Chains A and B, each alone.
Chain A
Amino acid sequence: MQSPCKIPGRAFRTTLMTAALAILLFHSCQDDEICEDLTANNLRIGFYMIDQEDDQWTVVDSLRVFAVEKADQPIHDTLRFISALELPLNPSADSCGFVLDFFHLVDTIWLTYERKTHMVSVECGFTMFFDIKKTVYSTHHIISLEAPMTYVTNDLDEHLKIFLPDTVNGN
């Protein structure tokens, strides 16, 4: 079978070269990947009032946070009137602890996790995701702790809920 679509030789070669150049231009104009800032894969904590039917945020008046392993360097030095917190998990260890100093009472949270190295892209490099396996905490001011989302990635999920006393109603 042969088709009757005929193009003279010179025109064919001209078409070939023109199309090739056009496509080459199109090809070279495609954007290279731009590396956005790598979002830190922080542990996200929310503070809640205990004994509420629906989880209700509570405001912590003052808070200072240290890592157990680096007590000389506070992660957050005197946060005021907060109801959420972000903490960096240690990418070089399978566990880390944080001291939460509520100024009148101090608690420690200890987290054990699996680390998962994750490629953002070849251009932008790698980051660390964490899969929390265990949480241990003291209960001087903290009443209880829940981990609704244990996989810590670069999304905006809340990973831990810390329940505190209802200071307004004196519970």
Chain B
Amino acid sequence: MVTPSLLSISVFYWSLHRPYLMPPVVVFVLGVIQDIISGAPFGLSSFIMLIIYVIAVSQRQVFVGKAFIQMWWGFMLVAIGMSILTWVVMCFYSLSFIPFIPVMVQSGLTILFFPLLSWIFALVQSGLMKHT
């Protein structure tokens, strides 16, 4: 059973919109927790999440304040790229050919979940803005 990678959506969204809430250390720790829960090799999620973080932070000008569809498009590219990278890393890690379809299913699901989660995050964000 493959589930969407909610963590990558969260890391992408918050490093774009509120980078100070998502410093690299937090990204790293979140990745480690993800690896503990999922049983994946230690460091795999941290590695991928840190790359997502650095892409998001470096491309802030391109995305922030633009239409949502543009951000979604950007996330799609990142998600597909990261899925392929994870797959390559895992193939080398286990020294065998891992079926590729579940990987693509996961990144497809993640991309489909992106609007829902970013809508929720946007609500949280406006809530935060009101308080500060």
Q: Do A and B bind each other?
A: no
Interface of B with A (CB < 8 Å)? none
